[in-house]
Chain A
Amino acid sequence: MSAPVSLIREPLVTGSKTYHQITEDLVSPTEKAPGTLWVMAFSVAAILATFGVFCIAWTIWFGIGSWNLNRTIGWGWDITNFVWWIGIGHAGTLISAILLLFRQKWRTGVNRAAEAMTIFAVMCAALFPGIHVGRAWVVFYFFPYPNTRGPLWPNFNSPLLWDLFAISTYFTVSLLFWYTGLVPDFATVRDRAKGIRKKIYHFLSFGWNGSAKHWQRWESISLVLAGLATPLVLSVHTIVSFDFATSVIPGWHTTIFPPYFVAGAIFSGFAMVLTLMIITRKILNLQDYITIAHIESMNKVILVTGTIVGVAYLTELFVAWYSGYVYEQFAFFNRALGPYWWSYFGMMFCNVISPQFFWSRKIRRNIVWTFFLSIVVNIGMWFERFVIIATTLARDYLPSSWSFYIPTWVEIGIFTGTIGIFFVLYLIFVRVAPVVAIAEVKSILKSSGDQYSGGHGHHHHHEETTSTENH
């Protein structure tokens, strides 16, 4: 892999970096005192997280009645947020696992942060099934453990139980994958550190010494984990979609849900990766590692998955009409024209219309546009889950029971709380671990570094910096 891949391809590492410079660039953020911007961001995130924890305590004390769910709409913001966060997590796994197997070198610039994002997002997601239940203190009934009640096992027919297994597996594999990747980088940090830091990183790097045997085993385990994680990319959101697809509620009972959910998950995950990376590369000055080429690649994924999602929406409408089934037809009629029309409109605009801007190469390579659209996409994907969950439940079979739902401050507080928790964790992460995988970037330097890959890319890079970076 030492020869340049292609002269036409853009370099993935710019700035004619040497190995040492890469180490300097990527490890130094963990060695310096945090900047003002970091402190401010951390404070805001911590305040949101604290308020979120307060709202969770409130919920557990008073009951789910402190939310505005009702006899008709049993799930609202809680499960919307759950599915949204789970979906966001998917980009990390896709980048680390599938793109690894496909030998996509551009993944090296973003995989570390994306995997971290996966783990934090899954943590935020997993919070909701735990606290949305009426009796959080008996949530352990979910687990199939030998007990003295018969023994009484959980209901293996229930999609919620499948969820439990899917998410716990997903979290475990993602965590292993992420940590495995971190081991050589922690060793790099350790080698430069002194005192207590050295001890900590020594412990964290599991005695890594860079021997060929270590590297060989590391490569093997990475591939094995990638192999394990690959089906998870498809299975986790498939199973989450079963929560709805296996029900009898019109608008939920839909066979298209598994692929549609997976596409949506990757779509929203990439959008979140972009949101995070655009901020991170700016703050940590990583433009040479997370280049416009990276951003463009991810925008292409967004365009493809967004369009798949759009096709799924239209297919749903077609099938509803074609089914001749009044409940199904009304469910979709109601989504578009009923009392929650604005959420359907928001979903369609954000998820189907907005990614179409990425047909334009200029927009794909434009930082501001990308940042803006990545946020629009995440809003759209939140709307999608809200449309599926709350709008569908609000008007189902019996007109007598139709209802309406707007969240209370507690529900909003918990949602913003998870955003706070997510950013608290992410901000700590960028301070303690190299945010770009050092070892992996170094592995592609000789093939994709600008000084090795010919003039085209190098030239192009300068053009880009002048045309877009100054926005």
Chain B
Amino acid sequence: MKEKDQGVWIGEMDLTNDPGFIEISEKEFASMPEALGNTEAVEQMEGNRRDFLKMLGFGLGAATIAAGCDIPVKRAIPYVVKPDAIVPGVATYYATSFVNGGDFASILVKTREGRPIKIEGNDLVGYGGTSARAQASVLNLYDTARFKKPMMNDGSVWTDSSWDAVDKKVMNALSASSSIRLVSSSVYSPMKQKAIDAFIAKYPSTKHVQYDTVSYAALLDANEEDFGQRAMPAYHFDKADLVVSFDADFLETWGDGNKATVDFVKKRKIEKVKGAKMNRLYQVESHMSLTGSNADNRILVKPSEQGAAIVTLYNYVTGSNLVASSLNADAKKALQVVANELKAAAGHSIVLCGTNNKAEQSLVNAINAHLGNIGSTVDFAHANLTNQGSDADVDQLVSDMNSGSVDTVIFMDANPVYDFTANGKMAAAVGKVKNKFSIAYANDETTNICDAVAPVNHFLESWGDANPNKGFYSLIQPTISRLFETRQAEETLLTWAGVSYGDSIMDYLKSNWQNTVFGMQSSFGNFERFWEKSLHDGIAMVSTSGEAPSYAGNPNAAASNVTKTKVGDAVELKIYETGHMGNGQYANNPWLMEMPDPITRTSWGNYLAVPVDFDGVSTMVAMNDLKDGDLVTLTVNGNEYTVPVIQQFGQAPGTVALALGYGKAVSGLCGTNVGVDMNENVRSDANGYRTYSSSDVTVSSKIGKEKDFSCVQYHHTYGVQDTDKKTGEIINADEAALVTFSYGMGVQGYQGALTDRSVVYYSNLEDLASSVAHLDEKRAHAQHLNEQQIYGGHDKLYKQGHHWGMHVDLTSCTGCGACTVACMAENNVPVVGKKEVSRHHEMTWLRIDRYYYGKLENPNTVYQPMMCQHCDNAPCENVCPVNATNHSSEGLNQMTYNRCVGTRYCANNCPYKVRRFNWLDYTTADIFPGNQPGINGEEQAYGTDNLTRMVLNPDVTVRSRGVIEKCSFCVQRIQEGKLTAKKEMRALRDSDVKTACQTACSTGAITFGDMNNKNGNLSHKLENPLNFIVLEEVNVRPSVQYTMRVNNRNKEIDA
């Protein structure tokens, strides 16, 4: 008897391995069917009726169990030796960098069991928080559309290949080439630059062409000419009391939007009424940009008037008399006021220009130089290096390729065929090149016409570095080993260059740092220590200095080269970049695609913004009588597009606007064929700079209705004012427009229907005292009403222990939407697709409501992040028939998904409409197979594959169809924070728990904490006299408070 063979034994014969018994026991099940088939055997079997019943019973039982328990555990294998860094259930964070073209962010990556699942800001850079783009980047790691191995294009068919084959093919082609082009987005990684240099050293005929998806070339060239530096300066908004921006969407897409937002908002925080101070922003633009919506005053000009506007401001500021083409009178008047203010704020103001026109940039440089801003607020010593592209180089490339002089072109992280559809028909030019290779992450318009692709790692699988600003270095380290047969671009370049980089590309990176960055700093004498510290922190700062350059431009020459105003009735089109789509490089990210545009509140497609006006009675009239969701034919430069429209408040009359980044022909699941592509209308001006506007435009009348009008907010305003035609009085035009049918009585709305609501409060800096007095009065009234209740309430209970609460500062919120994406990532919120969004089935737990107020034609904007208010008198809780939603002793309004039957009564009874119902099987989690809706007409519904599901946060339940869900105040993070405090044997601090939205917010607009912790961050915020509670008079007692939106509007301009 061998001891080790003995598993479980039941009886003696089992233990002794009695041969007879073994025979019987082996027959117990296995031989039964065999026996049943054999009549003779069956007849001979003793008690076969009983066995039949046994088998029947077993079969029935087994079938029931099998049918009832359909949750198979897949490949759960325990560690034999547990890795040090992984504790199951505990997240590990790594510092790295998000880099995509010109977008850069220092980030922390949260990994669980080796899987990156969430991006957080790296607060060592001075602020936490990231952009929505960075938040969403983790989803791309698990993109089903990414290349999984090297591939070759056989004319029309792509086939899987191997690195050996691709490398051989490429290197053969390169060796035989006499003119090579390497086309990439801006390179600001020292390591990548070194690899490129090595490549060029090997193949000296290589020319490196850099471009940015949205061009900064004019700004860079102007700075080179005027200041001797081809770079975008760092703008210190935290030192500027006055910012004037000509079409620069600097809070979102232009330059480092995230950093700009942080600095800009620093100057707008108000904690006391007395002595409150704010900076002021004037935005000169035609289309309501995110920056414009946060501006104190917007000055409306047509795109073609920008040149005249800049010359006019230059004249006013410097007292010159340069010739400006015609400019609308309102803008002229406003610019005079602006100029006076600028002169008063000399040295602590910033003038920005976002147009890609060198002369205009040069004039703005002249204004800044005249005001003495260079060196103080406009800082070349820390210049931004993320955008270095050159329009001229791209044009040269196209003409070189067209002339047939290029025999090999390599695209690296670049998609020029999409980005430059117009200028020179990039695709046709590329087609003329003999060898075309792409170093790409996923298939796109450019890669698709190449001969072979060398797939790259995701940045979360890569080693690397970035030097986004002078003096600032950031490291990239892998947080997961490569999922597929990919190779980072540097490895590919070095392989093709025949340069050995050691065992790992990390060695290459490290040695480069040792030779470069290490020498620039003086804090560390030992490289290893410097390296470890840098890798741990993710960043390294080195000192940088330099004299502020002096202005050497020629304003007179510039003034004659600015855009000339187009006179006449022609409609002008502004083509702009949005924060979530970029120029299409983010189109294949479902989180960003579904994220509603902060301004238009539309998702899944670009909507033509048309100006809107009030008819003086009861209707909002937009250009050509268009309504939201109407389809029109837009003709630009002779190209016709069918686009849906959205009525846009604050859109300059006679102009329309449409976003870039849509209408991609080759992309992944959600990027393909959504919206229309405007790149072909981005044409070069006389000086070869791409112009993001067009005046050769017509807009038809309504030709139909969009099938799925995916706009999450149908009502856009909160008391925008205009003149009543009959009485001549100023009325709330939007309230008048709420009348759909007046029974012939000509009713002009119920005045006060919106403005008397306690949903948002706003003020202007100079009216702050009276606004706060008004707020106090309304709050006192509401509280008086609330005291009349007959129920005792549970206040006493909630004063004990923790009582979680939140504070949102509406003045600090710029509406960027990073928090909403962070929320989706953190809480496994499903993406539902265009059709479902159009049916108002979006699942967002956190949304940002956007309201316009003030003057109808040129309103101000307030953004209101809206999430579950965790009411202490929650109306949702008492109506649930099954107790699926209830209150915790810590003041949380909790959802128990298992218990939810889905009556939706709670959602109906929620005054804030934050509860979300799983209308369909968005997550493949229900008990019915194959009933999931696709998000963009795909065969296998999005999120049903194991790759995409890797992004799910294991701490948060994936909800099934038919249940309600909503913001939980990130209860999983609360739990984690409590455990941390407990382990450290101390009381919990507010900083132990930060919700996903809070950590994503760069400006600190969101604060979460314990209301019972009187010394906590939250309690401090709750003391602000500008605070209010949304719908306080309803007496649901929310745990969320908001701070009034305050602007610093100059009313002189309105007068």
Q: With A68-B839, A160-B881, A337-B742 in contact, do A134 and B911 touch (Cβ < 8 Å)?
A: no
Within 8 A of B (CB), among A45-99: 61-66, 68-72, 74-75
Are B842 and A71 interface neighbours, CB within 8 A? yes
Q: Which of A148-156, A230-238, A258-266, A276-284 contacts B (4 or more CB under 8 A)?
A: A148-156
Q: Mark B324-338, 1 if CB is under 8 A from A, else 0.
A: 000000000000000
Kindly state the separation between the CA atoms of A145 and B58 in the bound complex, as whole angstroms: 30
Q: Which A residues are CB-close (under 8 A) to B928?
A: 61
Kindly state the separation between the CA atoms of A246 and B747 in the bound complex, as whole angstroms: 32
Cross-chain contact of B913 among A133, A139, A333, A401 (Cβ < 8 A) = A401
Q: Which B residues are CB-close (under 8 A) to A69?
A: 904, 919
Q: Which of B381-389, B457-465, B752-760, B769-777 contacts A (4 or more CB under 8 A)?
A: B752-760
Cross-chain contact of A246 among B836, B840, B879, B931 (Cβ < 8 A) = B879
Are A155 and B920 interface neighbours, CB within 8 A? no
Q: With A63-B921, A71-B842, A72-B840 in contact, do A247 and B714 touch (Cβ < 8 Å)?
A: no
Kindly state the separation between the CA atoms of A326 and B1034 in the bound complex, as whole angstroms: 12
Q: Which B residues are CB-close (under 8 A) to A155?
A: 878, 880-883
Cross-chain contact of B931 among A62, A248, A338 (Cβ < 8 A) = A62
Kindly state the separation between the CA atoms of A74 and B742 in the bound complex, as whole angstroms: 28
Main secondary structure of the interface of B (DSSP, over half): loop
Nearest A residue to B904 via CB reads A74
Kindly state the separation between the CA atoms of A141 and B899 in the bound complex, as whole angstroms: 8
**Interface: B713 (CB within 8 A):** yes
Q: Which A residues are CB-close (under 8 A) to B866?
A: 398, 400
**Interface: A342 (CB within 8 A):** yes
Cross-chain contact of B882 among A68, A72, A154 (Cβ < 8 A) = A154
Are A135 and B878 interface neighbours, CB within 8 A? no
Are B753 and A397 interface neighbours, CB within 8 A? no
Q: Which B residues are CB-close (under 8 A) to A330?
A: 750, 753
Kindly state the separation between the CA atoms of A262 and B262 in the bound complex, as whole angstroms: 59
How many residues belonging to A are interface residues under a CB distance threshold of 8 Å? Answer: 60
Q: Which A residues are CB-close (under 8 A) to B918?
A: 63, 134
**Interface: A360 (CB within 8 A):** no
Are B878 and A134 interface neighbours, CB within 8 A? no
**Interface: A341 (CB within 8 A):** yes
**Interface: B54 (CB within 8 A):** no
Q: Mark B720-753, 1 if CB is under 8 A from A, else 0.
A: 0000000000000000001111110001001011
Q: Mark B874-913, 1 if CB is under 8 A from A, else 0.
A: 0100111111000000000000000111111101110111
**Interface: A402 (CB within 8 A):** yes
Q: With A63-B919, A152-B883 in contact, do A135 and B912 touch (Cβ < 8 Å)?
A: no
Kindly state the separation between the CA atoms of A63 and B961 in the bound complex, as whole angstroms: 7
Nearest B residue to A64 via CB reads B919
Are B741 and A62 interface neighbours, CB within 8 A? no
Are A75 and B913 interface neighbours, CB within 8 A? no
Q: Which B residues are CB-close (under 8 A) to A399?
A: 715, 717-718, 754, 757, 759, 851
**Interface: B1031 (CB within 8 A):** yes
Q: With A152-B883, A398-B911 in contact, do A71 and B916 touch (Cβ < 8 Å)?
A: yes
Chain A nearest CB, measured from B225 CB (Å): 47
**Interface: B308 (CB within 8 A):** no
Are A71 and B917 interface neighbours, CB within 8 A? yes
Q: Which B residues are CB-close (under 8 A) to A402?
A: 714-715
Cross-chain contact of B908 among A75, A139, A153, A345 (Cβ < 8 A) = A75
Kindly state the separation between the CA atoms of A246 and B878 in the bound complex, as whole angstroms: 10
Are A153 and B759 interface neighbours, CB within 8 A? no
Are B753 and A138 interface neighbours, CB within 8 A? no
Q: With A61-B928, A63-B962, A134-B902 in contact, do A74 and B879 touch (Cβ < 8 Å)?
A: no
Kindly state the separation between the CA atoms of A205 and B311 in the bound complex, as whole angstroms: 101
Q: Which B residues are CB-close (under 8 A) to A179?
A: none
Kindly state the separation between the CA atoms of A160 and B882 in the bound complex, as whole angstroms: 9
**Interface: A132 (CB within 8 A):** yes
Q: With A334-B738, A398-B849, A399-B754 in contact, do A248 and B909 touch (Cβ < 8 Å)?
A: yes
**Interface: B1036 (CB within 8 A):** yes
**Interface: A28 (CB within 8 A):** no
Are A134 and B962 interface neighbours, CB within 8 A? yes
Kindly state the separation between the CA atoms of A396 and B747 in the bound complex, as whole angstroms: 21
**Interface: A455 (CB within 8 A):** no
Q: With A133-B901, A135-B900, A155-B883 in contact, do A72 and B739 touch (Cβ < 8 Å)?
A: no
Chain A nearest CB, measured from B518 CB (Å): 53
Kindly state the separation between the CA atoms of A341 and B919 in the bound complex, as whole angstroms: 28
Q: Mark B834-877, 1 if CB is under 8 A from A, else 0.
A: 00100111100001011100000000000010100000000100
Q: Which A residues are CB-close (under 8 A) to B738?
A: 333-334, 337-338
**Interface: B963 (CB within 8 A):** yes
Are B962 and A71 interface neighbours, CB within 8 A? no
Q: Which B residues are CB-close (under 8 A) to A329?
A: 750, 753
Chain A nearest CB, measured from B124 CB (Å): 36
**Interface: B933 (CB within 8 A):** yes
**Interface: A287 (CB within 8 A):** no
**Interface: A161 (CB within 8 A):** yes
Kindly state the separation between the CA atoms of A441 and B691 in the bound complex, as whole angstroms: 91
Residue among B752, B836, B909 with max Cβ neighbours from chain A (10 Å):
B909
Are A70 and B841 interface neighbours, CB within 8 A? yes
**Interface: A371 (CB within 8 A):** no
**Interface: A127 (CB within 8 A):** no
Are A71 and B911 interface neighbours, CB within 8 A? no
Residue among B743, B881, B913, B961 with max Cβ neighbours from chain A (10 Å):
B881
Q: Mark A297-330, 1 if CB is under 8 A from B, else 0.
A: 0000000000000000000000000000011011
Chain A nearest CB, measured from B832 CB (Å): 9
Q: Which A residues are CB-close (under 8 A) to B920?
A: 62-63, 65-66
Kindly state the separation between the CA atoms of A407 and B775 in the bound complex, as whole angstroms: 41
Residue among B742, B743, B902 with max Cβ neighbours from chain A (10 Å):
B902
Chain B nearest CB, measured from A205 CB (Å): 40
Q: Which A residues are CB-close (under 8 A) to B913?
A: 71-72, 396-398, 401
**Interface: A142 (CB within 8 A):** yes
Are B902 and A64 interface neighbours, CB within 8 A? yes
Q: Which B residues are CB-close (under 8 A) to A334?
A: 738
Chain B nearest CB, measured from A443 CB (Å): 44
Kindly state the separation between the CA atoms of A171 and B699 in the bound complex, as whole angstroms: 61
**Interface: A221 (CB within 8 A):** no
Residue among A62, A71, A155, A402 with max Cβ neighbours from chain B (10 Å):
A71
Chain A nearest CB, measured from B369 CB (Å): 44
Kindly state the separation between the CA atoms of A338 and B742 in the bound complex, as whole angstroms: 9
Q: Which B residues are CB-close (under 8 A) to A129?
A: 903
Chain A nearest CB, measured from B686 CB (Å): 45
Q: Which A residues are CB-close (under 8 A) to B881?
A: 141-142, 154-155, 158, 160-161, 164
Q: Which B residues are CB-close (under 8 A) to A142?
A: 881-882, 901
Chain A nearest CB, measured from B701 CB (Å): 23
Q: Which A residues are CB-close (under 8 A) to B849?
A: 398, 400-401
Are B904 and A75 interface neighbours, CB within 8 A? yes
- Which B residues are within 8 Å of any A CB, using their own CB? 713-715, 717-718, 738-743, 747, 750, 752-754, 756-757, 759, 836, 839-842, 847, 849-851, 864, 866, 875, 878-883, 899-905, 907-909, 911-913, 915-921, 926-928, 931, 933, 960-964, 1030-1031, 1034, 1036
- Which A residues are within 8 Å of any B CB, using their own CB? 61-66, 68-72, 74-75, 129, 132-135, 137-139, 141-142, 152-155, 157-161, 164, 243, 246-249, 326-327, 329-330, 333-334, 337-339, 341-342, 345, 393, 396-404
- 11 new A-B contacts, CB < 8 A, other than A154-B881, A345-B743, are A142-B881, A158-B881, A160-B903, A164-B881, A248-B909, A326-B752, A333-B738, A338-B740, A399-B715, A400-B715, A404-B714
Provide 30 A-B residue pairs closer than 8 Å at the C-beta atoms, listed in order of the A residue.
A61-B928, A64-B904, A65-B836, A65-B839, A70-B841, A71-B907, A74-B907, A134-B903, A134-B917, A135-B901, A135-B961, A142-B882, A164-B881, A248-B875, A329-B750, A330-B750, A333-B738, A337-B738, A337-B739, A339-B740, A393-B908, A396-B913, A397-B912, A398-B759, A398-B849, A398-B911, A400-B713, A400-B866, A401-B713, A402-B715
The 4 A-B residue pairs with the shortest CB-CB distance, nearest first, are A134-B902, A134-B962, A65-B919, A74-B904
